[in-house]
A and B are shown apart, each in its own frame.
Chain A
Amino acid sequence: MRAKRKQKLFVILGLVTLAAIAVGLTLYALRSNINLFFSPVQIAGGEAPVERQIRAGGMVKEGSVARDPDSLDVEFVVTDYVEDVSVRYSGILPDLFREGQGVVVVGRLQPEGWLRADQVLAKHDENYMPPEVAQALEEAGYSPEDYQAQAAEVAERLDAED
């Protein structure tokens, strides 16, 4: 009885391990398809297909948002602080859209290297804070966006050090 239990235990562990390996290899093989978006570095490196619907993600570059006063047309630059992709969009932007904010842009990459967007999605990070804290940060000379950019820089530096 005891030997039978042990055998059963090994069969189960073996089954789960094999399944885990299979799933792991599948996910590894599909890793580029699982990423929701291309980063500007990947787009600049020619990894993204041209004139097919893709998603590009990154931060809205500070000072890059230019709105057309007569229409909903807007132009901005998405950056990952290494490469930039300029985006043209006509439509309503999400409430969280602002400079320094993470965005995911759905659209077609043009041969000239800019992106014609059909949809703009805003990302937000996990650092929630009350408006007073954000205001206090601002009065101390940081904007919440600065604070986020700093956090992103620190994270990048830490990643680079690894």
Chain B
Amino acid sequence: MIVLLIYVAIFAGAYFLVKLLVHRGTRDFTARKTVTFGDESAVRPNRIASVVSVLSIFLLWGAFTGSAWVPGVLHAPGPFTGDAQFTYTATADGVDPDDATVTIRVFAAGTQSDPPPVDPGTGWARNDSDAIAAWRSGLVRVDRNDDLGRDAGHRVIAINGQLIAPGKEVLTDFGRIGMSPKGTLNVEPAKGWQMEPIWLPPPEAVVARMIDIARNGYRDSTLWEHLGWSLFRVVAGFFFGALAGIPLGYAMGLSDWFRGWFDPIVEFMRPVPPLALIPLVIIWAGIGETGKIILLFLAALWIMAIAARSGVSGVSISKVHAAYSLGASKAQIMRHVIIPNSLPDIFTGARVAMGVCWGTVVAAELVAAEKGAGMMIMVASKFQLTDIVIMGIILIGVIGFGIDMLMRAAERALVPWRGKG
């Protein structure tokens, strides 16, 4: 909730700051438009906002994980670390209440520390010490080293002079001290607002982990092998899907028999999410490469068939008529009119199919695989290696985005006539 509020504050603050500081040139035509609210074409992404948006995500991530990349002043309050002391007052049968000091050493997560040595002090209640990792809490049996134990009626009645009873708590300057129903003290040093690395590691830990896995690998494969296998499966599945789907789509667009025969199959298979086919594919083809490629083939097949079919139906009849009137044969019309006319639709289909395949391969690897990006993050999550999981998600996103950019570039280069007909 606090994070959301900070995020909204950054959003609004950056807006006003940018509006105040940056005066956009009024050189181009759109800048001269007076009506922009409601004119969609006048709304162009403000690139400053994009940059600030990405930066603020990393800033928040760093600030709430105590990242070394973010200056210390911007860090959210971290967990308490260091030595802290509190006194307790205990009573026992037949003696006066006595005070003693407890020294707690709170050490950084992931390190080890022994309780600090303390002088036992005077009186029947002795001074204690203990060590607790940051973000953790510890039960401190203060009666263990005292002269009178629980069998002699040892009871803690106050902390730092404030009364305490089982189920109650006392707040100190370094954290909370509670009492269990049986009377044991539960010391809980302040956790601060930062996330614990096992839930959310700082960005530099993710980068370090990426470098480590790129060099040394994870689960017997390097990072590149994991990503490479995922990509290979996508490309192979998409290739076969397109190889079968495009001719099928053309046949459905050109022949009533094909259209009638495959319509029910395609219309049925199209709404079935490829993920729903994973169990069946595993039963039939196992969890090896064959199964994965069959799954991706099925994911791409229907999309490509429908794209090719709509490419054929999208050809304007006057172009076909014109070609016939110019003496073209059926084969020539196919080659020179129908195929080029359907290419924009096929490219759109290919872009969708690649996206679906990429999502499907990751999901399939989550279920079962020996290598692959999805397998990597699934296994890592079982060992609570959050840094690998986050790294994997980022890489999967970057690759998916990269695939889409590549397809768009290919489309611009190969079908410049898209939308110009």
A and B part of one assembly: no
